[in-house]
Chains A and B, each alone.
Chain A
Amino acid sequence: MGKVEKLNQSDREQALIDQFLADNVLFLGPDPEIMEDHDIAPVTEIESRAMEKETDPAVLTLIRDRLQAGANEAFEMLEQMGAAPGAKWGDLITGVYTASGDLAVSSAGGVLLFAALVHHPVKFINKYWAGDPSVGIRPGDAFIHNDARYGNIHNTDQSLLLPIFHEGRLVAWAGATVHEGENGAIEPGGMPSLAEQVYEEGLKMSPFKVVENYELKKDLVTFLQNSVREPKLQYEDMKVKLFVCRRIEERVKSAIEEFGIDAVISSLRKGLDDVKTEVKRRVSAWPDGTVRTMVIADGTLRENCMVKINLALRKQGDELIFDFRGSSPEFANRSNNTLLSSLKGMLAQLFLVFVWPDLPRNQAVFAPIRVATDRKSALHSSYHTPNAQSMMTFFPAFTAGQAAVAKFLYGCPEKFTKVVAPWHNMIRTFIYGGITQHNEMVGNLCADLNGMGGGARADRDGEHAIAPIFAPMADLGEQELNEEEIPFIQIVSKKLMRDNQAFGKYRGGQGYEMIASSLGSPLWGFMVCCIGSKISSVPGLFGGYAAPTYPLCKVKGVDVFEIMKKDPRKFEFSIPDIMNKRPFEGASYTSHHTGLQFEVANRGELYMITQGAGGGYGDVLERDPDLVIRDIEEGLISRETAREIYHIAYNPETLVLDREATEQARQSERASRKARGVPFKRFLEQWVTPTPPAHLPYFGCWGDDRSTIFAGGPQRRMAADAIEPVYMPNPKDVRIAELERRLKELEQR
Chain B
Amino acid sequence: MKVPMTEYLEIDLERESWGCRCCGHEIGSARRPYKEGLLAYVRDPREIHKPILDPKLYEYTFSPDHEWVRIIEYYCPECGTMVETEYLPIGHPPLNDMEFDIDALKAQWRGRRPLSGAELAGPDPMGVAHQPQCNKHHHGGR
Contacts and interface: CB of A to CB of B under 8 A. Distances in A.
Nearest to A285: B108
A673 B82 contact: yes
Given A458-B121, A681-B36, A687 B62 contact: no
- Of the listed residues A499, A683, A698, the one surrounded by the most CB atoms of chain B closer than 10 A to its CB is A683
A416 B123 contact: yes
A683 B42 contact: yes
Interface stretch (A98-106, A183-191, A365-373, A613-621): A613-621
A291 B69 contact: no
B101 A288 contact: yes
Contacts, number: 267
Nearest to A686: B42
Contact of A410 (B4, B40, B84): B4
B133 A461 contact: yes
Contact of B52 (A418, A497, A552, A622): A497
Interface residues of B, number: 78
Contact of B85 (A306, A544, A627, A689): A544
Contacts of B90: 689, 693, 696
A131 interface: no
Contacts of B129: none
Interface in B26-76: 35-42, 48-50, 52-54, 57-65, 67-69, 71-75
A546 B89 CA distance: 14
Contacts of A543: 7-8, 74, 81-85
29 contacts: A287-B5, A288-B104, A288-B105, A288-B108, A289-B98, A289-B101, A298-B68, A410-B4, A411-B5, A415-B123, A419-B120, A419-B122, A457-B122, A458-B121, A459-B137, A534-B64, A534-B68, A539-B87, A542-B83, A551-B62, A579-B58, A591-B60, A624-B136, A669-B80, A670-B80, A680-B38, A683-B40, A695-B67, A702-B93
A533 interface: yes
Interface stretch (A88-96, A146-154, A385-393, A500-508): A500-508
Contact of B48 (A306, A645, A673): A645
Contacts of B89: 296, 306, 535, 692, 696, 698
Contact of B82 (A413, A546, A620, A680): A620
B83 A689 contact: no
A674 interface: yes
B121 A291 contact: no
Interface of A: 285, 287-294, 296, 298, 306, 316, 407, 409-411, 413, 415-419, 457-461, 497-500, 503, 505-506, 533-536, 539-546, 548-553, 575-576, 579-580, 589-593, 617-622, 624, 627, 640-641, 645, 669-674, 676-681, 683-684, 686-689, 692-693, 695-696, 698, 702-704
Contacts of B39: 673-674, 677-680
Contacts of A645: 48
Given A553-B53, A677-B40, A678-B41, A670 B60 contact: no
Contacts of B93: 684, 688, 702-704
Contacts of B127: none
Nearest to A619: B82
Contacts of B97: 291-293, 407
Interface string B76-110: 01011111110101111111111111001100100
A190 B91 CA distance: 38
A497 B52 CA distance: 10
B61 to A, nearest CB: 7
A159 B37 CA distance: 53
A457 B37 CA distance: 27
B81 A670 contact: yes
Given A680-B36, A687-B42, A549 B62 contact: yes
A494 to B, nearest CB: 18
B20 to A, nearest CB: 11
B8 A619 contact: yes
Contacts of A417: 122-123, 125
A618 B79 CA distance: 15
A461 B41 CA distance: 26
B122 A548 contact: no
B84 A545 contact: no
Contacts of A542: 6-8, 83-84
Nearest to B90: A693
Given A416-B123, A458-B7, A696 B82 contact: no
A121 B67 CA distance: 45
A417 B100 CA distance: 22
B63 to A, nearest CB: 7
A407 B5 contact: yes
Given A543-B83, A546-B87, A548-B62, A459 B118 contact: yes
